[in-house]
Amino acid sequence: MSQPPAEIQVHNLDHLGIVAGIIDSIGLVEEVDRLLGTHPQEHVSCGQVLKGLILNGLGCVSAPLYLFEQFFVGKATEHLIGPGVLPKHFNDDRLGRVLAKLYDEGTTKVFVHLALKAARQFGVKTDSVHLDSTFFHVDGEYTPNGRVAPRAEDEA
């Protein structure tokens, strides 16, 4: 007598599996957890929430935080984020607490720390660093030799 086929669950990874793998190779989750701390009653750690935020941001979805968990419905959260992680763990309250911790720690400080860790992990040379992240856009014509163009007089 043949047995009925086992129930199979299919979850979607899309391109997020590659991104999650890179995040894991950097050690981002563990590093963020070290910087921001963990609590034994948390279903998802700060690092796992940040990983989820990155995956969501690269998922080409724009939705308010209270709908964040809907992004992960149908996706393999246990494979992407970690064992036991379910979409319902990414509620807006949890996201808000983690974002507040990131703000308190200093978003720039955390970003630079993680960026340098990633650079070391992937062997990126840091003998030259450009820290200015501003962008200036200029419209108009440049004058020859960098001279200032004469001002037009007001017509009366």
Average pLDDT estimate for 80-90: 92
**CB of 15 closer than 8 Å to CB of 58:** yes
pLDDT at 6: 82
The model scores a pTM over 0.95: no
Question: What are the tokens at 4?
Answer: 């009925």
How many other CB atoms are found less than 10 A from the CB of residue 62?
7
pLDDT at 153: 66
Average pLDDT estimate for 67-79: 87
List pLDDT tens digits, range 1-35: 688 888 877 777 788 899 999 999 999 999 999 99
Instruction: Name the residue among 153, 80, 120 with its Cα closest to residue 71.
Output: 80
**CB of 72 closer than 8 Å to CB of 49:** no
Beta carbons within 8 Å of 48's beta carbon, 6+ residues apart: 29, 81, 82, 85
pLDDT at 155: 57
pLDDT at 26: 93
CA dist., res. 65 & res. 104, Å (int): 19
| Domain ranges across the chain | 16-121
Alpha-carbon separation of residue 139 from 51, 56, 95, 142, 144 (angstroms): 39, 35, 40, 9, 16
Alpha-carbon separation of residue 54 from 22, 57, 84 (angstroms): 11, 5, 19
Residue 36 has pLDDT above 60, yes or no: yes
CA dist., res. 43 & res. 45, Å (int): 7
List pLDDT tens digits, range 93-149: 999 999 999 999 999 999 999 998 999 888 888 776 666 666 666 666 666 676 666
pLDDT at 154: 59
